[in-house]
Amino acid sequence: MSKQLYINTRRLTRLILRRDRIRIPVWLLSLSVLTFIVANAFTSLYSTEQERQIAAETMRNPAMTAMLGPGYGLDNYTNGAMMAHQMLLFTALAVGIMSILFVARHTRADEEEGRIEMIRSLPVGRLSNLQASILVSVGANLLLALIIGFGLYALGIKSMDLEGSLLYGAALGAIGIIFTAITALFAQLTVTSRGTIGFSIAILLLSYLIRAIGDVSNQALSWFSPLGWVLSSEVYVNNYWWPILLTIGVSFILVIISLYLNAIRDLEAGFIPAKPGREYASSFLQSPLGLALRLQRTGLIAWAVGMLILGASYGSVLGDIESYFSNNEMMEKMLTPAAGFSLTEQFLTMLMKIISMICTIPPLMAIFKLKGEEKKNRTEHLLSRAVSRSRLMGSYCIVSIVSAFVMLSLAAIGLGAVGNSVMEEGIPFGTFYSAAMAYLPAIWVMIGIALLFIGLAPKLSSLTWVYLTYSFFVIYLGGLLQFPEWMGKLSPFGYIPQLPIEEMDFMKVSILTIIAIVLMVIGFIGYKKRDIQG
Amino acid sequence: MSVLKTSNLTKKFGGFTALNGVDIEVNKGEVFGFIGPNGAGKSTTIRILLGILKATEGEAKIFGMDVWKDAVEIHKRIAYVPGDMNLWPNLTGGEVIDLFVKLRGTNNKSRREELIKKFNLDPSKKCRTYSKGNRQKVALIAAFSSDADLYILDEPTSGLDPLMERVFQECVMDAKREGKSILLSSHILSEVEKLCDKVAIIRQGQVIETGTLNELRHLTRTNLLVETKEALSSLHEIKGVHNIEKKGQAYSFQVDSVELDNVMKYVSQFGIVKLESAPPTLEDLFMRHYEGAGKTSNTGAGGAL
């Protein structure tokens, strides 16, 4: 390929660095600081060999293998082995997302917005922008590998030697580099940045899934996943370097292919043709409710799957709760002992608090979509037609309330199904489900608060998120940090009876429901009376 | 019969008065032009008429119903086209048109197809790929394929090419022929001149002039171009003569309509060789109002032309 194609790559590289001079350091810093904190935490939580060996025992089940990857070095579960086994995969996922977002932002997104057209009208090579984006992304990942590698070694933890630490960093960097290449490829194939990001993240999740199935059933399958490759480097135990070289080699080939495809295609064209959309709206779409659902379809489905997985992954630890907790002081502090109930059942009440609060996020996002649409001047399209404000708000409210129910149900189903499959003595499925459903009134109150803000003071509506965060802290960490009890009572989640340890309290739940309804009604009235902004 | 009527319509945003006692009236079968520079209050008025903003004072009625309280009932019979639309990027143009038409209630399939063809829109493309002109077509097709009694159009042709502008004008004419009423806000004055029966000029939240184009012209000046046998002298001393310019042998100037008779008598003394007269364009009218005010008015959000 001629030199012409790469002219001014250096300048574009500097432009990209200038545009992302905050973004890149923030990513690198948060990923490495997180890694160092967790490494330290593991070391202080599991300081004796006996504690570590007990933790290793909890890892010996298919659910854990599927979630974290194959357990290696379990017979001598050092802090290093523990770190690599429990953290490497999830950090790698984050690094993959970082690279995907970065490359998509500087390639297809810029092209879609017409900025590349401007650049290309200047004396700049046809491949310069793609090459510059890849260079910066690879550079950032190398830097991350070095920071984490030397940083982990510098923590001075006994089982984390220099080679292992560098390999740990290199494994993360390699995943970042291969997803840089994969995204660069999809940036050539698809026409929109949404498509580029969507396909690349799909590959990332697919890699995780294939590896999960492979690790549990047939190791050969894991060889189809880049995440499987880097995990087989067995950091801190056997320190194999060749999987890293394999990953980099494949990335290199993918980069060559994407540069080639970029060279032969038209600007703003792609290789996966954008299929023409519908010429007519389906009858489902032709109402405010249908529109509200359609606009949030992808997001809600993603959350639903996420909640099922969240439930399932909490469920996968239920089998080992008894042995785990009897050896962990910190965890024991978080639970209030209750006579007549197993530790697992007590743990279940804490899980339900966390799950219910996470399940509050999608309903809140659904209701705040109404405000987002207003800000983009799109509620006007509906209100200037024969749609009343109550009908419009009602549509979003229905989506929100139904999504609360669906999310909570899915999490409970995941928790119950996987939990019962790993426990020796099962807990009836109804116990899981009713414990989860008891939290619905608290979520309704949160939806009511959101509606109240949208109706009366839309500018302050982010306070709803502050309130949810507050609830999370006092409910989740309240016991551990010995917060006074009234702080928990400032959150609707603090009033929910903790099934199965406590009795169902219909009085409290009914009062919460009434509060939720009152908040919602005030929100509706306010929304009817105010100006539509935007 | 009055279809739309506002009286003393006032809107304040905090301390800023966006509208200050706006009175307009649109009758059945009438095309009503609403003109004024950016930030004069055209869109604010329209958003109050749509029940999206609530008037601080005054009253606005469409079909005899209150625009705030009976918004939904009114909206079943009106069609609105905004000047710029933010559409949902992942819906196609066809889907948006169907949604908009359906939400109003009425539906006219054959009209939809005809308009899509006329405006040359590809309805199977996602809205994120549409240019400004194409987004505008989506709004226009949705509006004109529904059977409304009143069309509220807020700078509807911004971004359209001249061919499509003509298609739009045909749509307005058709609607008028069917006895529909139209409120057309615009600053493309030639368009307003071509389409409108009545005009209101708004400035800094106040209607400063309203009436038929003929009535408005009467209040203003006629453009004259005169060539005489003998040299015209002391023209500038005659009452009602403005903007004298010598063009070769001829003089061009403007005359206040009320003084036209006197001026003609004076000029004819010199022996007229050539006489051209042109009625003032809407632009002349418009500029006269704004030139006069330009010196004193620097307030208002972007109140410049």
**Contact (CB, 8 A) for B178 and B172:** no
CB contact at 8 A, A405 and A363: no
Q: What is the ipTM of this complex?
A: 0.76
Q: In this predicted structure, what is the pLDDT of residue B305?
A: 33
> Which is more confidently placed, B304 or A530?
A530
* Closest Cα in chain A to B123: A279
pLDDT score recorded for residue B10: 95
Of A194, A381, A532, the CB nearest to B100: A381
**Nearest Cβ partner for A280 among B53, B72, B94:** B94
The tokens of A427 are what? 């807990």
Are the beta carbons of A440 and A405 closer than 8 angstroms?
A: yes
Residues of chain A with pLDDT under 70: 1-2, 323-339, 479-480, 534
From chain A, pick out residues whose CB is under 8 angstroms from the CB of B96.
281
- DSSP single-letter state for residue A442: H
**What is the model's pLDDT at position A334?**
60
How much helix, strand and coil, in percent to the nearest 5, is found in chain B?
35, 30, 35
* Banded model confidence at residue B164, pLDDT cuts 50, 70, 90: very high
Q: Does A459 contact chain B (CB < 8 Å)?
A: no
Q: Per mean pLDDT, which range of A324-328, B21-25, B31-35 is the poorest?
A: A324-328
Look at residues B152, B140, B145 and name the one whose alpha carbon lies nearest to residue B4: B152
d(CA A55, CA A317): 11
Residue B129, pLDDT score: 86
Please judge whether B82 and A281 are an interchain contact, meaning their C-beta atoms are less than 8 angstroms apart: no
Higher pLDDT, B215 or A21: A21
The region that residue B219 occupies, defined by phi over 0 for left and psi between -120 and 50 for alpha, beta otherwise, is alpha
End-to-end CA distance of chain A: 50
Query: What DSSP designation does B219 have?
Result: T
What are A163-188's pLDDT values in tens digits?
999 999 999 999 999 999 999 999 99
Taking each helix axis as running N to C, give the angle between helix A79-106 and helix A49-59, from 0 to 180 degrees, rounded to the nearest 10.
60
Contact status, residue A470 vs residue A491, Cβ threshold 8 Å: yes
* Interchain contact A369–B (C-beta under 8 A): no
Supply the DSSP string of A160-224, one letter for each residue: --HHHHHHHHHHHHHHHHHHHHHHHHHHHH-SSHHHHHHHHHHHHHHHHHHHHHHHHT-HHHHTT
Give residue B222's pLDDT: 83
Distance CA A472, CA A491 (A): 9
Hey, which residues 275-314 in chain A have their CB within 8 Å of chain B? 276-281, 285-288, 291, 294-295
Least confident of B55-64, B138-147, B212-221: B212-221
B296 pLDDT band, cuts 50/70/90, is very low
Q: What backbone phi and psi angles, to 5 degrees, belong to B256?
A: -60, 135
Q: Is B94 in Cβ contact with A279 (below 8 Å)? A: yes
Residues 112-171 of A with CB under 8 A from B: none
Distance CA B280, CA A139 (A): 68
Tokens describing residue A178: 């291969």
Nearest by CB to A384, from B80, B98, B123: name it: B80
Are the beta carbons of B72 and A531 separated by less than 8 Å? no
* CA distances, B28 to each of A458, B104, B140, B178, B181 (Å): 39, 21, 21, 11, 5
Contact B102 A281 (CB under 8 A): yes
| Predicted pLDDT of residue B303 | 35
The 10 Å Cβ neighbour count of residue B15 is: 5
Out of A194, A274, A532, closest to residue B53 by CB: A532
For residues A237 and A81, give the distance between their C-alpha atoms in angstroms, rounded to a whole number.
Answer: 6
> How far does the CA of residue B287 sit from the closest CA of chain A (Å)?
31
The domain made up of B221-279 has a fold known as: Alpha-Beta Plaits (3.30.70)
pLDDT at B292: 57
Given a cut of 60, whether residue B304 has pLDDT beyond it is: no
Contact (CB<8Å) A380/B50: yes
Say if CB B103 and CB B40 are below 8 A apart.
no
Task: Let me know: does A98 contact A138? Beta carbons within 8 Å.
Answer: no
The class of domain B2-216 in CATH terms is alpha beta
Q: Which residues 6+ apart lie within 8 Å of A485 measured at CB?
A: none
Can you give the pTM of this predicted structure? 0.76
Interchain CB distance below 8 Å, A276 and B124 = yes
Quick check: do B2-216 and B221-279 share a fold? no
Nearest to A377 among B86, B104, B123 (CB): B86
CB contact (8 A) between residue B50 and residue A384: yes
Q: Would you state the pLDDT for residue B170?
A: 95
Cα–Cα distance for residue pair A313/B78, rounded to 1 Å: 54
pLDDT band at B178 (very low <50, low <70, confident <90, very high): very high
* Domain segments of chain B as ranges: 2-216, 221-279
Give contacts of B51 with chain A, Cβ < 8 Å: 383
**Cβ–Cβ < 8 Å for A186, A199:** yes
Give the distance from residue B298's alpha carbon to the nearest chain A alpha carbon, in angstroms: 25
Band (pLDDT 50/70/90 cuts) for residue B107 is low
A382 → closest Cβ in B90, B103, B123: B103
Question: Residue B98 and residue A286: Cβ atoms within 8 Å?
Answer: yes
Rounded to the nearest 5 percent, the helix, strand and coil shares of chain A are 75, 0, 25
* pLDDT, tens only, A345-360: 888 888 899 999 999 9
Residue B57 has pLDDT above 50, yes or no: yes
The mean per-residue pLDDT over the stretch B175-200 comes to 91
Chain B's closest residue to A291, CA to CA, is B99
The structure tokens 């048109």 sit at B97
Question: Are A281 and B99 an interchain contact pair (Cβ–Cβ within 8 Å)?
Answer: yes
Query: Does the beta-carbon distance from A378 to B87 stay under 8 Å?
Result: yes
Look at residue B302 and tell me whether its pLDDT is greater than 60. no
Summarised one tens digit per residue, pLDDT across range B260-279 is 888 888 888 888 888 888 87
Cis, bond preceding A500 (omega within 30 deg of 0)? yes
Q: In what order do the strands lie in the sheet with B272-278?
A: B241-247, B250-256, B221-228, B272-278
| C-beta of residue B172 within 8 angstroms of C-beta of residue B33 | no
Amino acid occupying residue B208: I
All residues of chain A having their beta carbon less than 8 Å from the beta carbon of residue B98 are 280-281, 285-286
pLDDT at residue number B298: 39
Chain A residues near residue B91 by CB distance under 8 angstroms: 277, 285, 294
